[in-house]
Structure 1
Amino acid sequence: MKQVTLIPGDGIGPEITEAVKAIFSAANVPVSWEEENAGQTTFDTIGELIPETLIASLLKNRVALKGPITTPVGKGFKSINVQLRQKFDLYSNVRPAKTTKGIETRFDNVNSVLFRENTEGLYSGLEMFDERLQISDSVARLTRVGCQKIIRAAFEYANKHNCKKVTAVHKANILKSAGALFLGVFNEIAKEYPHIQADDKIIDNMCMQLVAKPEQFDVIVTTNLFGDILSDLCAGLVGGLGVVAGANIGDEMAIFEAVHGSAPDIAGKGIANPTALLRSAIMMLHHIDLKDEANRIETALEATLANKEECTGDLGGKASTMEFAQNIIAKL
């Protein structure tokens, strides 16, 4: 039995978390949950955004499943997600985007995985403000080691999953220093994987290519800000943030998460779609080598998504959150 830290979050987080727990229970997944929370909920109750009990649980279990979390706005708090990524060096943000039967989109052949560097770049927190001149500076810090880790993770994934190509996305034509470092490291590591095609795209061209011919991409690797933008773009190609998985992975820990918001406007109504969190949980099962359980749940999920009537309202159906979960359970 593998113990996993469970962070329900807030808003719709607890509802979609309960749906995932029900599916895991029905599938007899050998996972036990150690529940801790963070964000607005814990701030309101104990005055802490990231409680020490959560940190202790993460350090003990090394694997977590996380629902959407709200960071209080306008109070100077740094994003909880960013804090967790930097604290535990979860340098690899992994976001698959794959066309799903039953989810209508403009494209029917998307199948890519984006690797976003998670701890450096413009999200390093190196910001300065000159009050007198009213000038703000934000520094995009890249390190050779940071570039090496995320790029190697992308190539290792491609190698393991028999992907044909890895594409680096950058702005080296303008960002002469940071862009050159990232692209240079990419070209160095690509030589170690001669059986995998390696190419690169400038970020603006990449956006155009993704909305014109997304099927040409397998594995994409890029820096923090570009990855933040592209990952949502890729999600839009396959149905939106409500149906895509996300993972933050480092050498010592992995946190799998729903990447959408906490949707407080529909919280408590029992209509939220748990697909994103469930797909993140399926990624987690692969990570901890429970592949049979992962495949079984994924097959049941795909069969349910293919039947619109069995889905939640955002996907064109009439099912509640738990009715959708029960539809999946019936297909296990």
Structure 2
Amino acid sequence: MSAGKAYRLGVLHGDGIGPEIVTAAVAVLEEAASSGGAEFECSELPLGRAAIDTHGSALPEETPAALAGVDGWLLGPHDSVSYPEPHRSRLNPSGAIRKHFDLFANIRPARAFPGGHALVGNTDLVMVRENTEGFYADRNTFAGSGEMMPTPDIAIAHGIITRAGTTRIAHEAFRLAATRRKHVTIVHKANVLRLTSGLFRDVCREVAAEYPDIEVDELHVDAATVHLVRRGDQFDVLVAENLFGDILSDLAGEVAGSLGIAPSLNAGESHAMAQAAHGSAPDIAGRDLANPVAMILSTAMLLRWLCGRHDDTRLLDVADRIERAVEATAARGVVTPDLGGTASTSGFTTSVLEAIRAGA
């Protein structure tokens, strides 16, 4: 057990609403840590449009170098489509970080809570998304973008599914399900993509045989969208390749109430990154309107991952304090406009801090 350890965290604000929601998450973390007896040292690192202006790169070399030496990090959303060339055409900062540190598992919960206005009440599921291959061409090759245009009128991208990549993400899904309601749904499109998606399905089935206590079923990705909307409360853990998992997790976030409450964790063997599932929302940036819940809950997920790595139960206590305070605040009707409320980003954050101090 790492009793007394001070955990070093990198803080990358990102673009758009990133500085607002990351600042909120850090404030909540520090308040919960002071109540829970844990200690964190947070270091801000350059990333995004501000880094282009100051360092000439959206991801300066010093940033991944520094991240390699910390225990984990918080990453705000990026708005890479607005970057000037040549930065816009390069791999976006979050994708580059995931690739550099081999953060192969993207864990995306979708859980309804009081005051959250879920489309399907009692939704409590987790999307386990393979994060390094599949049909996202910018992440599935050692070098290059994975896309090409042989002529101005033809664009080609390749998708890659490997036994090794699928095996490790399938184990992540089944290990997670063993701690929850012991049910995994394999999502694929093997009826059309017989070789690629077929390999993903088959390897997941092989891994399932190692977990006889876990119930397993499967859905084609198009059918999964329908079932999520109609009966999102009946899913436990879903496992999918990169593109399918990205799309379905966004849908699941809305089913649970709003993409603004959808957290995620990008994890590898030795590093993990808290990153909200939503984007940078430049239209509301700087207006104190953004919902910080997803970023705050992503931070709690990082603490749980760190607990598993360092066997430090103080981190579970801090994560519990954060999650209880968020739920208690929402239950009182203090929510941001995306959830039908009137609270500002700063106002919601202040209420969460008060809930932590009150022992919610």
Task: For 1:9-88, list aligned pairs within 5 A.
Answer: 9-27=14-32, 28=34, 29-73=38-82, 75-88=88-101
Kept in 1, the 8 Å contact 2:119–2:254? The answer is: no
Alignment of 1:1-332 (within 5 A): 1-27=6-32, 28=34, 29-73=38-82, 75-123=88-136, 124=140, 125-131=145-151, 134-159=153-178, 161-289=179-307, 290-308=315-333, 310-332=334-356
Q: Could you tell me how far apart the structure 1 residues matched to 2:341 and 2:180 are? A: 35
Distance 1:135 1:12 in 2: 36
Partner Cα separation in structure 2 for residue 23 and residue 141 of structure 1: 40
Amino acid at match of 2:157: S
Cα deviations by residue, 1:203-262 (Å, 9 ceiling, x for unpaired):
111111111111221000011111111011101101221111011111121111012222
CA distance in 2, matches of 1:3, 1:178: 40
Once the two structures are superposed, residues 19-73 of structure 1 have per-residue CA deviations (whole angstroms, 9 ceiling, x without a partner) of 2222222221421101112111101222111111211121101411111112144
Matched residue SS, 2:42 = strand
Gaps of 5+ in 1: none
AA in 1 matched with 2:66: S
Deviation at 1:311, TM superposition (A): 2.3
Counterpart CA distance in 2 for 1:250 and 1:53 is 21
Matched length: 329
Q: Distance in 2 between matches of 1:313 and 1:216?
A: 28
Cα separation, partners in 2 of 1:233 and 1:47, compared to 1, 3 Å: same
- Whether the aligned pair in 1 keeps the contact of 2:64 and 2:97 (CA below 8 Å) is no
RMSD of aligned residue pairs (Cα, Å): 1.5
TM-score, normalising length: structure 2? 0.88
Q: Output the CA distance in 1 between the equivalents of 2:15 and 2:155.
A: 33
Which digits, 9 at most, give the CA deviation of each residue in 1:109-168, with x for residues without a partner? 211000111110111232232217x32221111111001011111111112x13221111
| 1:113–1:220 CA contact under 8 A, matched in 2 | yes
* Native 8 Å contact 2:119 2:257 kept in 1: no
Preserved CA contact (<8 Å) 2:105 2:267? yes
Instruction: State the alpha-carbon separation in 2 of the partners of residues 295 and 18 from structure 1.
Output: 20
Contact 1:82 1:119 in 2 (8 A): no
SS at match of 1:189: helix
> 2:14, 2:78 within 8 Å by CA — same for their partners in 1?
yes
Percent of counterpart pairs with the same letter? 40
What is the CA–CA distance in structure 2 between the aligned matches of 1:80 and 1:69, rounded to whole Å? 7
- State the TM-score, normalized to the length of structure 1: 0.95
Which residue type is aligned with residue 50 of structure 1?
A: L
Residue type of the alignment partner of 2:49: Q
Preserved contact between residue 17 and residue 290 of structure 2 (Cα < 8 Å): yes
In 2, Cα distance between equivalents of 1:288 and 1:43: 31
Equivalent position SS for 2:127: strand
Q: Deviations over 1:273-324 (max 9, x none)?
A: 211100101111111120001101211110001122x222332333222221
Structure 2 portions without partners, runs of 5+: 1-5, 308-314
SS of residue paired to 2:264 = strand
Letter in 2 for 1:294: A
Q: Work out whether residues 248 and 256 of structure 1, in 8 Å CA contact, stay in contact via their aligned partners in 2.
A: yes
